[in-house]
Amino acid sequence: MAEFFSTYLPSWLAQLVTGLIQCVILLHVPLVGAMFFVWVERKAAARIQDRLGPTRVGGMFGWLQLLADGLKLLTKEDLRPQEADAMLFRLAPYVGFCASFTVFLALPFSDGWVVQWLDVGVFFILAVLGLEVFGVILAGWASASKWSLFGAMREAAQVVSYEVPLGMCVVVPVMIAGTMDLVAIGRMQEGLFTNWFIFHDPFTFVIFFVYFTCGIASVNRAPFDLAEAESELVAGFHTEYSGFRWLIFYMAEYGSMFIVSGLAAILFFGGWNGPIPLADLLGLTDANGELAGYLGRFLGMLNFVFKSVLGVTVMIWVRWTVPRLRIDQVMTMCLKYCTPIAAVMFLGATLWTYTFPGGVTGLRGTPYGTVRGVSAQRVELSDLTPATEDAEGAAGEGSDNKPAEEHAGDVAAAAADGEAAAASTPSGPLSIATFASSRARSR
């Protein structure tokens, strides 16, 4: 897009305009997403509770309910307690929302479809997501309400504690992939669903559940929603908020939920790669033209969004099923269970990757990014050269891509033949990473 604008505008302005347009488009993801999730939550909760939920607004399924909700909230009076710190009180929702929104910048929705392609995407997401707690603490402090303060203190204690196991869980797929680049991590899981990192080894399988638990805790969803525990703290940190400011807190929460499940989808469930490489089988790759590649990536985005929404739905399901934990139990869970389990799993995954660099079973024998037969066929179509040779060629072609570019040439040969590499790959993670990235499609 920047190139398009730079034909008419000076380059700095083109960059600025591009950035603004991307921001505006991206802003709709958490906003519309939040509204959609509010509707999903209301519907799912209603079904779980043997009710119908919204049925009237907008005809079928009450799908316009979200708009009615939004309108209602917008027209509500923007109340502020007299004792409240006016500036901080007004600022707090935006701090929370900005943190949640900024994360979307680094979240790839499909292969290469990411606003800001970062080498350290995982790190960035975790770091910025952790900033959301500031909004909550500010809100709790500035409200001048004791209940809000309780909520804020709980949130601070909880989120800061859960950063530790959450980080450790995220490190495992990063370690297996050998990169923090989310696009590269996603590409490594191409092919059949057996290539997904959750099925990489028993440790990643376990750690996914630890990750999901910690993720729920870090976005303050039940049973860890202590910061807004309505039976104890009235509404916790947003007790004093009303109308639009309250709505912003809500959007931030749903945005964070989406991010946590999206991150889980990329790190453990292959991101935009479906259980079977449908786009490849249909020939929707860059090799068959730009439109085909675009369609393939669009399918990938649907995959990714589906997985993320599924994760959010599970969170909703959990919320409406189980009671809430107590603060000491939440901390116990973090420090006595989640952190040690994550540490042990990390160690286990390390040893596993060291011992079986190419995997143990026949299925695992192929390097990431290939499916026996399918991959060979696809490459054959694209390059019209024998399957064993083309990876090298692809590496040369694709080396203008961002991740791990410098390794591409020298390890590509080792990883070139999928079948052979199973037995003899010298260094698992490195070769795997570079192999996949060498096959990276153009951005």
Partner 1 sequence: MATQTGTAFADDPRIIEYDVRTDEMLINMGPQHPSTHGVLRLVLRTDGEIVSEAVPHIGYLHRCAEKIGENLAPRQFVPYTDRMDYLAGMNMNLGWALAVEKLMNLEIPEKAKHLRVIIAEMNRIASHLVGMGTYGLDLGSFSPFLYAFREREKILDLFEEACGARLTYSYLTVGGATHDLPATWLEKCEAFLDQLLPVITEYHTLLTTNAIFVRRAANIGVMSAATAIDFGCTGPVLRGSGVDQDLRRDGEQWYTEMYDGYAFEVIVEKDGHYPKDHEYPAIPKTAVLGDCWHRFYVRMLEVIQSIDLVRQAIDRYRTATGSHCVPVKLNQKLPKGEAYLETECPKGQMGFFIVSRGEAIPWRVRARSSCFSNLSVTHELCRGCLLADVPAIVGSLDIVMGEIDR
Of 49, 355, 424, 442, the residue at the interface with partner 1 (CB under 8 A) is: 49
Amino acid at 256: S
Beta carbons of 269 and 307 less than 8 angstroms apart: yes
| Residue 174 Cα to chain centre, angstroms | 14
Beta carbons of 436 and 187 less than 8 angstroms apart: yes
> Rule CB under 8 A: is residue 322 a binding residue for partner 1?
yes
How far is residue 376's CA from residue 155's CA, in Å, rounded to a whole number? 51
Of 124, 147, 203, 304, the residue at the interface with partner 1 (CB under 8 A) is: 147
Q: DSSP characters for 69-88?
A: HHHHHHTS-----TTS-HHH
CB of 224 to partner 1, least distance (A): 10
Of 76, 324, 372, 402, the residue at the interface with partner 1 (CB under 8 A) is: 324
Piece of the chain touching partner 1 by CB under 8 A; list 197-205, 318-326, 345-353, 384-392? 318-326
Binding footprint of partner 1, residue count (CB under 8 A): 31
> Rule CB under 8 A: is residue 325 a binding residue for partner 1?
yes
How far is residue 423's CA from residue 189's CA, in Å, rounded to a whole number? 20
> Rule CB under 8 A: is residue 421 a binding residue for partner 1?
no
> Rule CB under 8 A: is residue 327 a binding residue for partner 1?
yes
Q: DSSP characters for 236-299?
A: GGGTT--HHHHHHHHHHHHHHHHHHHHHHHHHHS-TT--SS-HHHHTT-SGGG-HHHHHHHHHH
Beta carbons of 398 and 441 less than 8 angstroms apart: yes
Piece of the chain touching partner 1 by CB under 8 A; list 114-122, 150-158, 298-306, 361-369? 150-158
CB of 326 to partner 1, least distance (A): 5
DSSP 386: -
Bridge partner list, 110: 113
**Exposure on the CB side of residue 97, measured as CA atoms within 13 A:** 19
**Of residues 161 and 434, the one with the C-beta less far from partner 1:** 161
> Rule CB under 8 A: is residue 241 a binding residue for partner 1?
no
> Rule CB under 8 A: is residue 326 a binding residue for partner 1?
yes
Q: Which residue has the tokens 């209940």?
A: 147
- Judge residue 349's burial from the number of C-beta atoms within 10 Å of its C-beta, 0-12 exposed, 13-18 middle, 19 or more buried: buried
Of 3, 290, 328, 406, the residue at the interface with partner 1 (CB under 8 A) is: 328
Of 231, 290, 373, 406, the residue at the interface with partner 1 (CB under 8 A) is: 231
Of 159, 222, 287, 433, the residue at the interface with partner 1 (CB under 8 A) is: 222
Piece of the chain touching partner 1 by CB under 8 A; list 6-14, 211-219, 324-332, 343-351? 324-332
CB of 62 to partner 1, least distance (A): 18
**Of residues 232 and 405, the one with the C-beta less far from partner 1:** 232
Describe the chain by its helix, strand, coil percentages, rounded to 5: 70, 0, 30
**Of residues 50 and 290, the one with the C-beta less far from partner 1:** 50
Query: CA-CA distances (angstroms) from residue 322 to 159, 248, 325, 338?
Result: 20, 26, 9, 19
CB of 392 to partner 1, least distance (A): 54
Of 85, 119, 232, 383, the residue at the interface with partner 1 (CB under 8 A) is: 232
Q: What residues contact residue 379 under an 8 Å CB cut-off, 6+ apart?
A: 387, 390, 391, 394
Single out the residue of 437, 423, 418 nearest to residue 375, CA to CA.
418
Piece of the chain touching partner 1 by CB under 8 A; list 35-43, 144-152, 278-286, 372-380? 144-152
CB of 333 to partner 1, least distance (A): 10
> Rule CB under 8 A: is residue 88 a binding residue for partner 1?
no
How far is residue 224's CA from residue 229's CA, in Å, rounded to a whole number? 9
Piece of the chain touching partner 1 by CB under 8 A; list 61-69, 187-195, 218-226, 257-265? 218-226
CB of 40 to partner 1, least distance (A): 16
CB of 55 to partner 1, least distance (A): 17
How far is residue 410's CA from residue 395's CA, in Å, rounded to a whole number? 10
Phi (first) and psi of residue 111, to 5 degrees: -60, 105
Piece of the chain touching partner 1 by CB under 8 A; list 31-39, 42-50, 371-379, 393-401? 42-50
> Rule CB under 8 A: is residue 321 a binding residue for partner 1?
yes
Residues that bind partner 1 (CB under 8 A): 45, 48-51, 146-147, 149-150, 153-154, 222-223, 225-226, 229-234, 320-329
